[in-house]
């Protein structure tokens, strides 16, 4: 008891200063945390994706009756007798990347065996099929056609995000 009364004024001041600094430090940490959360809250929560438009280059890159897979874009550029067009290369079953099989003249999916026409063709029963139509397999739909056009520089452009009705050829 007697020792408490003997507390020196300097020690008391140091204790007060210590707790004041501790309080200020805590407030500063809280303020920084609040500012960081506020910034995250105010910043738009947007996912920036690459453009869906692909520049496929000059048409003369694609010989007549050729099927060219652009692996990075997941599309085919096809040059048929009727003109140029683009098909999605992504299987409509579970999304595997399909492959052009020149020896069979078809597009095939390596995952579960779906097959698609690349060119206009009649089946053995005489029924005509459009490019992209399913031949067989579990795929529920045909491969969609993608919007294609020629820009001012003469390059073929494809919009991967836009499906179009079949048989819309680009002629250059």
- Interaction between residue 137 and ligand FES (CB under 6 A): yes
- Interaction between residue 94 and ligand FES (CB under 6 A): yes
116 forms beta bridges with 107, 134
- Interaction between residue 138 and ligand FES (CB under 6 A): yes
Which residue in the block uniquely carries the two structure tokens 């652009």?
70
Task: Rule CB under 6 A: choose which of 139, 143, 148, 158 binds ligand FES.
Answer: 139
Cα 144 to Cα 84: distance, rounded to the nearest angstrom = 15
For residues 112 and 127, the answer to whether their CB atoms sit within 8 Å is no
Residues 95-114 binding ligand FES (CB under 6 A) are: 96, 109, 111-114
- Interaction between residue 74 and ligand FES (CB under 6 A): no
Instruction: Classify residue 168 as left (phi > 0), alpha (psi -120 to 50) or beta.
Output: beta
Binding site for ligand FES (CB under 6 A): 91, 93-94, 96, 109, 111-114, 137-139
């Amino acid at each position: 008891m007697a020792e408490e009364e003997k507390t020196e004024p300097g020690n008391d001041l140091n204790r007060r200063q210590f707790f004041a600094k501790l309080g200020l430090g805590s407030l500063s940490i809280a303020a920084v945390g609040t500012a960081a959360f506020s910034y995250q809250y105010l910043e738009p929560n947007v996912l920036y994706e690459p453009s869906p438009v692909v520049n496929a280059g000059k048409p003369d890159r694609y010989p007549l009756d050729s099927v060219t897979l652009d692996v990075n874009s997941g599309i085919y550029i096809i040059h048929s007798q009727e003109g140029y067009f683009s098909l999605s290369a992504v299987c409509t079953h579970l999304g595997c990347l399909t492959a052009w099989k020149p020896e069979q003249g078809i597009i095939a999916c390596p995952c579960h065996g779906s097959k698609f026409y690349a060119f206009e063709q009649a089946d053995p029963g005489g029924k005509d099929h459009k490019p992209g139509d399913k031949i067989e397999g579990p795929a529920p739909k045909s491969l969609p056609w993608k919007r294609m056009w020629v820009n001012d520089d003469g390059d073929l452009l494809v919009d991967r995000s836009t499906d179009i009705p079949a048989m819309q050829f680009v002629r250059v």
